[in-house]
Structures are given as structure tokens and as C-alpha cells.
Chains A and B, each alone.
Chain A
Amino acid sequence: MKKVVTILSIFLLLFTACTEKYNYPTVSENLSIVNLTDTSFVVEFGFMNFDTIIAKDTVNSMMNVCQYINKPIANENNLWMNEAQFNECVQTLKIYRIENNDSVLVNPVYFDNRNLWNSTMDKFIDMGVYVSINHVLEIKPEMFQQ
């Protein structure tokens, strides 16, 4: 009897485990900025009115940036940000460091286009499917305008 109950339980689990069945799993998109310079710098995320300091040799990640963009991205024809939406998002970034009470900016040509970011998708399955795209940008000293 115990065996029958165990087998039935396994089948019940199998049929109920995947809640994403028939839906498209939502994609969380994250922006990560890696500081490869010798100093810290500031990043202003204009699309979410937020700024942060990224210290030397550290990485700062903004999770699930899609929610800050006023675009209908979560439908079956547009499961992740398209190029235009992504560009619109990163074009609001401002990256600079303070030198002698002056702001030294990173030229936007180093980050204002999706092709300049290294994007990878990760999937994680645990009683459901979790998908994220990580967009990574490395900031190097020569990117700062002199």
C-alpha cells in the first residue's frame, strides 16, 4: 500500500510541478557594471532615478531593470527587451568620476548600444522556471573623457 501511495504521489508531483506549462516564463533582465579602473566612479541610472558608487575592482548590478521601463515587454512576441528598448534604457545612464571637483564622464559611445554589452541568458529550474538575462559592461580607464 505504501508503495502505491508513493508512486501515486510521484505522478501527482509530476503533473503539478511545472506551473509554467503553457505560459512563457518571465525573463528578469539585469544590468551589471564592472569597474576595471583604479578609482571608484558614479553611475546614474536615469531610467530609475537612482545613482550608485562603484568602488575599484567591484561589480554593481541592477536587478530586473525591465520593471522601470514603461514598455509592454512581457508578452509572447516580446519576451525580453528588444534592441530599441534596451538602447533606450542604457542611453539614460551617466557614468562619471570626480577629479579635482570636476566630473569626468565616460563617453556614451562605450555603453549606449546593446552590442557594447555582453549579454548571457541563464535558466534555473526549481519547481518552476526562472530565466534571467545578464547584461555586463566593463568600464576601463581609457573610456573616461579627458
Chain B
Amino acid sequence: MKTNTIIKGTIFTITLLLSACSPTYYLPTKQNVILFEEKGDAFITGNLATDGLMGVEGGYSFSDNIGLYSSFNKFDISIYGNTNRFIKDFCWDNELVLYKRYKSGIYTGLNAGVGFGEFNVNNPYFDLGYNRQFIQPSFGMKIFNRIEHVDLAISYRLTSLNYNALFFQNRTDYDINMAKTYFNLTDILNGKSFYFFEPALTLGFTYDFFKIRFQYARAFKFGEEMYFYQRESISSSLSLDINKLFFNRMNKTKKLHWAF
């Protein structure tokens, strides 16, 4: 039993070590769940995650059930090169969020979005962009049903992913073939779409006008196994509701959200 555990642990570690050194071109970025509570919620969010991910996000709820959310994240999974540049890899997602918060504390949501991004910006051999479309149902609940509360949510993002690469004109066919191997591009430039199933578990702490979120997300590719994507991501984020913070400072019990 103990030997079996050691073998499994060793294989897991080696797999992680190898994946840490190879360029990859997809990351299960943070899923935006349990965002809005009610009409008028307006969030700005800072986001930190594994793989050097840093992001800013913003969203607004137009009604008690519909909101829009936009997030820009930069990260580094394409590995090679670019020591001094601020942005190495990035993605920009825009989502329509349909949600319902029940009085019992149950939360359901459905996000539908499109995203764009680029990898290894300023690479000397190619421009590699991608776009994705996704839907993301989510289900959550308040653990303590008060204004200050803890949320726990499960969500599943279903993603369709496409790449488009442009090799520079001064590069020969030989250069292009070598670059595909060198930069680990062979799998993704076959002209096909890729489909992912991405479950995530989110733990959130809400205190009136700010929320802290921790999330573990995992990516599973449908179909043949390939090695061009990151398997998992752990993120943390801090959101401020600027509506409650600046413009609508009373809560439902007519108590001030904050005061000097």
C-alpha cells in the first residue's frame, strides 16, 4: 500500500515537473461565479493565480437576474522567452451572466461568454492568437445566511477553443516546421477546434461591499489526450462593490455600509 502511494506520488511529481518546463497554450482561468446579488451591483476585481496570472475584472448587474462581466488576465504558460515584457500571454473574456439568488441562500447562475487572447507576445517566429466561446452553469449556497457570509459554489465551464497562428513572412517552411516542434505547437495548429470541460470549486467570503474568492479549477479535454494545455489553476480574488462603496451606502436594513 505504502509502495503504491510512493509510486503514484512519484509519477504525479514527474508529470508536474515535465509540464512545468514545456510551453502550453491554454489555461483554465478563473470562473466568475456568485458575483452579483442584486440590481445595481458593480464590481471591480483584482485577481491572482498560479502560472503568474494577474488580472483585473469589472461587472455590472442591470437587474436582479442579468449582469455583464469582463475580465482581462495576463499570465505565463508559453514559457520560453520574453524576460522583460509586462505581458507574455493574455486573455480577455466577456460574459453575460444570468443569475438568481434565492432567499434560502441558494444561488444559480449561467454565464455565456466569448474570449480572445494571445500567447508568447513578440515571439520572433509567430503570432499565436486564440478565441474561445463558453457556457458555464454554476450552483452555490450561503453557508451562513447573513449579509456577511461564506459561499460555496460548484461550476462547470464548457469551452470551445480555436487557435490562429501567423508565421512571419521572412521565415522559411523549414523554420516554420522547426518552430512548431520547438514551441510545442504541433498539436494545436491542426486547424481543429478543441473542447474542454472545466469543473471548479469556489469558496467565497463576503463582507458587505467586498468579496474574497478562492477557486480551484481543472481542465479536461474532450477526445484524444494532448499536452498543450495546463491541467489546473488555483486563484484568489478580491472584489469591491463600488456601488455600495460610493453611491448606495445604505444596506437593506438602512444601515451604512461604511463610514469614516
Residues of chain B whose beta carbon lies under 8 Å from any beta carbon of chain A: 13, 16-18, 20-22, 79-83, 124, 172, 174-175, 178, 181-182
Indicate whether A125 reaches chain B with its CB closer than 8 angstroms. Answer: yes
Identify the closest chain A residue to B181 (Cβ): A121
Per the bound structure, the CA–CA distance linking A93 and B101 in Å amounts to: 76
- Find out whether the CB atom of B172 lies under 8 angstroms from the CB atom of A10: no
User: Which residues of chain A are near B82, meaning CB under 8 Å?
Assistant: 22
- Find out whether the CB atom of B83 lies under 8 angstroms from the CB atom of A20: no
- Find out whether the CB atom of A27 lies under 8 angstroms from the CB atom of B182: yes
Indicate whether A79 reaches chain B with its CB closer than 8 angstroms. Answer: yes
- Find out whether the CB atom of A82 lies under 8 angstroms from the CB atom of B175: yes
A-B residue pairs in contact (CB < 8 Å), sample of 9: A10-B16, A13-B17, A21-B21, A24-B80, A27-B182, A79-B124, A80-B178, A123-B182, A129-B21
- Find out whether the CB atom of A23 lies under 8 angstroms from the CB atom of B81: yes
Identify the closest chain B residue to A11 (Cβ): B16
Identify the closest chain B residue to A16 (Cβ): B20
- Find out whether the CB atom of A121 lies under 8 angstroms from the CB atom of B178: yes
Residues of chain A whose beta carbon lies under 8 Å from any beta carbon of chain B: 10, 13-14, 17-18, 20-25, 27, 76-77, 79-80, 82-83, 114, 119, 121, 123, 125, 127-129, 131, 133
Identify the closest chain A residue to B18 (Cβ): A125
Please pick, from A22, A119, A129, the residue contacting B81 in the complex, using a CB distance under 8 A.
A22
Identify the closest chain A residue to B123 (Cβ): A76
The answer to whether A128 and B172 touch (CB under 8 A), given A10-B13, A76-B124, A80-B178, is: no
- Find out whether the CB atom of A114 lies under 8 angstroms from the CB atom of B174: yes
User: Which residues of chain A are near B21, meaning CB under 8 Å?
Assistant: 17-18, 20-21, 125, 128-129
The answer to whether A119 and B174 touch (CB under 8 A), given A10-B13, A131-B182, is: yes
Identify the closest chain B residue to A25 (Cβ): B80
Minimum Cβ distance to chain A for residue B192 (Å): 23
Per the bound structure, the CA–CA distance linking A17 and B13 in Å amounts to: 11
Minimum Cβ distance to chain B for residue A77 (Å): 4
User: Which residues of chain B are near A21, meaning CB under 8 Å?
Assistant: 21, 79
Per the bound structure, the CA–CA distance linking A127 and B21 in Å amounts to: 8
- Find out whether the CB atom of B182 lies under 8 angstroms from the CB atom of A121: yes
Q: Which 5 A-B pairs have the closest CB atoms?
A: A18-B21, A121-B181, A77-B124, A22-B83, A17-B17
User: Which residues of chain A are near B124, meaning CB under 8 Å?
Assistant: 76-77, 79
Identify the closest chain A residue to B179 (Cβ): A79
Minimum Cβ distance to chain B for residue A137 (Å): 15
Per the bound structure, the CA–CA distance linking A54 and B79 in Å amounts to: 41
Per the bound structure, the CA–CA distance linking A107 and B21 in Å amounts to: 44
- In addition to A25-B182, A79-B124, A123-B182, 13 A-B residue pairs with Cβ atoms within 8 Å of each other are A13-B17, A14-B16, A17-B21, A18-B17, A18-B20, A18-B21, A20-B80, A21-B79, A22-B79, A24-B81, A82-B172, A82-B175, A125-B21
